[in-house]
Amino acid sequence: MIKRAQNRIAQSRWSLPVTAIYGLLLFLISGMASQGLWLQLLILVASTVMMVILNNNNSLIRIYSRMVSCSFYVVVLMSPFLFSSINIGIAQLAFIFSLNFILRAFQDKQAVGWVFYAFVAIGVASVFYVELLWLVPILWILLTTNVLAMSLRTFIASILGVALPYWFLSAYYLLIGNPQAIADHFEAMMLWQQPFDFSMLDIHRGLTFLFVAILGIIGSVHFVAYSYQDKIRTRMIFEMFITLEICLLVLLILLPQHFDVLLSLLLTVVSPLIGHFLSLTHSKLSNITFFTLIIAALALTIFNIWMP
């Protein structure tokens, strides 16, 4: 097998440290530091560490590679508008925690604790964006079909997990004398304002969405074509990522007013897919594609940060 520049970079132990330095420099020179967005950066670092753990614990790439976490770090930095709200970072971090916990339950119908923690994380994310509760039925299906951990006990654990943050939230609103706030919170789930209306999105979000969709398509097509080379467990995990990718794309179309938070979740599931492609391909075409994607990501990052 020919080892091209793409493969040397993808398999290098310096890839993640260099990417981290790139992110810090970008944060400093872009003005995000002067805007006091340090907490958002810390949340991004925590999310990237959790992506490393997700990769390591589940052997997403069958060779040594940090492309999953590097891809995640680069595409989030490519979307500086996501830093406008701490809530988006918290929701993304909670979603990554949920994926880590739910995959710990693989083929274990007695893994009540891991399933409970996974859905607590989804419940926490939904406190900030209640629309994310639409992911719960999807996760139930994936828990049955891909994680193979659905049972009566884990199903009940998932319900209790989602409900736990709301027990505390309800107590808080009762304490301040505003119980109606909980009803208003859940009512927002039923508001489907202007589906398919992308006119509310600016050119930065439009181009970012297009680029991320291309990354998702490249990663998904590559995995489906070469999935036979991976273990059954890895295939089932990546099929879960592809399913979540499709569902999040549908939600983005139906709920464009929640574009930023849904995009942050989409970036999370697209990163393993494109990381798999970048790490395991070694043709001349893939080498060209590798550097083309890097240049495109850098160009889009510059455009999103410095162009009004």
Give the tens place of pLDDT for each residue, 21-66. Answer: 999 999 888 888 788 889 999 999 999 999 999 999 998 998 999 9
Domain that holds residue 54: 5-306
Percent of the chain with pLDDT over 90: 69
Q: DSSP 3-state assignment of 175?
A: helix
DSSP code for 109: T
pLDDT (0 to 100) of residue 4: 78
pLDDT (0 to 100) of residue 186: 81
Q: Name the more confident of 196 and 187.
A: 187
CA distance 192 to 131: 10
pLDDT (0 to 100) of residue 283: 87
Which residues contact residue 2 at a Cβ distance below 8 angstroms, ignoring those fewer than 6 apart?
Answer: 282
pLDDT (0 to 100) of residue 1: 58
CA distance 84 to 40: 9
CA-wise closest residue to 63 among 146, 148, 1, 147: 1
Q: What's the total number of domains in the chain?
A: 1
pLDDT (0 to 100) of residue 10: 87
Token pair listed for 14: 């310096």
CA distance 293 to 80: 18
Chain position carrying tokens 């790439």: 61
pLDDT (0 to 100) of residue 50: 96
Rounded to a whole number, what is the distance in angstroms from the first to the last CA of the chain? 46
pLDDT (0 to 100) of residue 256: 86
pLDDT (0 to 100) of residue 21: 94
Taking residue 191's Cβ as centre, other Cβ atoms within 10 Å add up to: 10
Confidence of residue 154 (pLDDT cuts 50, 70, 90): very high
pLDDT (0 to 100) of residue 192: 65
In this predicted structure, which of 81-85, 216-220, 234-238 has the lowest mean pLDDT?
Answer: 81-85
CA distance 119 to 164: 9
In the predicted model, what is the mean pLDDT of residues 117-146?
94
pTM over 0.85: yes
CA distance 304 to 80: 7
Asked if residue 288 has pLDDT above 90, the reply is yes
In the predicted model, what is the mean pLDDT of residues 284-291?
91
CA distance 33 to 25: 10
CA-wise closest residue to 114 among 184, 189, 57: 57
Asked if residue 5 has pLDDT above 90, the reply is no
CA distance 308 to 290: 28
Confidence of residue 198 (pLDDT cuts 50, 70, 90): confident
pLDDT (0 to 100) of residue 193: 65
